[in-house]
Chains A and B, each alone.
Chain A
Amino acid sequence: MSALVEIRGVTKVYRRGGESIEALHGVDLDIGRGEFVALMGPSGSGKTTLLNLIGGLDRPTAGSLTVDAQRIDQLGGGALARWRAASVGFVFQFYNLLPVLSAQRNVELPLLLTDFPAAERRRRALIALTLVGLRDRARHRPRELSGGQEQRVAIARAIVSDPLLLVCDEPTGDLDRATAAEVLGLLQTLNREHGKTIVMVTHDPKAAEYAGRRIHLDKGTLTAGSEAA
């Protein structure tokens, strides 16, 4: 399997109130194309920091980060934003949908950055909603949906522009066990049937079982990795 994500010697240092905090220390990691990887570790281990770097939301203090042969650590602000729009889908713990927009409008958001006309944007958004089983909730606003449905709308928004990579930060952290299983099943389907590369942060071992590979971090360093059975 060829590597989609290549991380070499990545260090991330935060400065808060004159204090330096090293969140990641010399991390080396490859993530293959079509892999479903779970990043695990205790709070403060650096897993969300690593996910943010992979998703192009932040830049490393040192080291290199290559995604699909592109050094994203060297991209400027505007180029990085364009890269995120084209290459990455994001799923967050608290869904982060815009409350005043309908499910369909929320899903359409990434497509506003493309040249698609309005009708095509609408069509693609409805396809994405159909894929997550929420075609009939297209006109509903987030507050009219359950937590699981909101997260599925967020997943539809993440996949609507057909990105290379899905990055998911505790996508089931706010869901009950049954709903979490539905959402994880959906991510697994996207990975297995649609070939999406997924990097998911979780501290829930049950959730991590859906991934093909589990990577552990502690104090900013990779400690172990394991393949799924």
Chain B
Amino acid sequence: MRYFPLLLAGLFRKKTRTVLTLLSVLVAFVLFGLLQAVTLAFESGADTADAKRLLTTARYSIIEPLPMAYLRRIEQVPGVVGVASADWFGAKYQNESNAFPVFAVDPRRYLDMYPEFTIAPEERARFVATRTGAVAGRRLVDRYGWRLGQRLPIASEIHPKTDGSMTWEFELVGILDAEDPAVRGNTDVVLISAAYFDEARQFGRGKTGWYIVRIADAGQARASAATIDRLFANSPDETRTQPEKEFAVGFAKQIGDIGALVTRILLAVFFTILILTGNTMAQSIRERIPELAILKTLGFSDRTVTALVLAEAFALILGGGAIGMGAATALMPAVNRSTGGRFPPLFVSPDTWLLALVVAVALALAIGLPPALRVARLKIVDALAGHR
């Protein structure tokens, strides 16, 4: 603390330069916070995947249906402790732009598969008991202003009813939510009863989209998946079973490798910051060589003067970084409002803060070490005589 005035004096010797440098670091970390949140949103499926859950789809395409009869056979596989089916409904609500996933599921089995989802016990019971019942994610409910007990007219793009109508009507009987903000993005769905759906649809009866399989031992995931796929090998409906995480990563990559894209953008941003701030820092130290030589003359050790220079770099980068990350966190509610809930919820996770700290420390070292070492090597008599 006793050197704090010296640190401030060094930093604010040229206020405009310091403020502009701080701003550039701040903007870089705002960008970091926002882009990491986007990556997290895209990868949330993979990050929140349960290692004991497998996904069984048709071998060549997820859009190919599988027989519902597979459920009982998968249940017989050693190590499997639960199976649920789900089918893609293809929904639109009110108009073309209001699209969200609707899955036809066995209510009890499906909700058992996802203990990370929260639903009130009485709503869950009503969902199980009501054939035309539906439960919806909290964010969807909020976005459309739905109320429990309300009739939801939802059009399917794929499945006509037996009477030829594409509009289905469900009763909202429950609301899905999650404690973990990363999981909450996965609740942007409407679940309907597969029994009612299968009975009322015009075609595709007796088939479902995919199976969710719970196993007892995550270490046996590969073996269990292989056993399941062997069951249906050489049949008209061969399967492909993968751990849920693998499935989620593959699904996200169909849009593009968001993680790699974001990493490249951030590398460019931080490389620019490294060059700009490093140059500014070096220039600032060059200008202060006589002053630093005086400190050494007065008895400040090489280590102390070096630490002072490094502390300036750390103060600039960590200060700018902390404000930037704080700003990114503060911006999230506004960003989430602007997406109208059509995007998974964006948030700055504790892991992102930790990563920001690691990046900031690395940047500060890269920027501060070269001038600090130069100052450490500085010979007092040369510096005072003007030979630098």
* A residues whose Cβ falls under 8 Å from a Cβ of B: 52, 55, 57-58, 77-78, 81-86, 90, 92, 96, 98-101, 105, 109-110, 112-113, 118, 157
Contact = CB atoms under 8 A, between A and B. Distances in A.
B291 interface: yes
A82 B296 CA distance: 10
Interface string B1-21: 011011001101100000000
Of the listed residues B3, B291, B294, B380, the one surrounded by the most CB atoms of chain A closer than 10 A to its CB is: B294
Interface of B: 2-3, 5-6, 9-10, 12-13, 290-291, 294-303, 379-381, 384
Given A96-B290, A112-B2, A57 B380 contact: yes
A81 B296 contact: yes
Contact of B299 (A58, A81, A118): A81
A118 B302 CA distance: 23
Given A98-B291, A105-B5, A110 B381 contact: no
A109 B291 CA distance: 12
Given A100-B13, A112-B2, A92 B384 contact: yes
A174 B178 CA distance: 75
B7 to A, nearest CB: 11
A101 B380 contact: no
Contacts of B13: 99-100
Contacts of B295: 109
A81 B301 contact: yes
A-B CB proximity, top 8 nearest: A85-B299, A100-B9, A84-B299, A81-B301, A96-B294, A57-B380, A58-B381, A110-B298
Nearest to B291: A98
Contacts of A96: 290-291, 294, 297, 384
B297 A57 contact: yes
A55 B301 CA distance: 15
A52 B301 CA distance: 17
B300 A101 contact: no
Nearest to A121: B2
Contact of B381 (A57, A77, A78, A98): A57
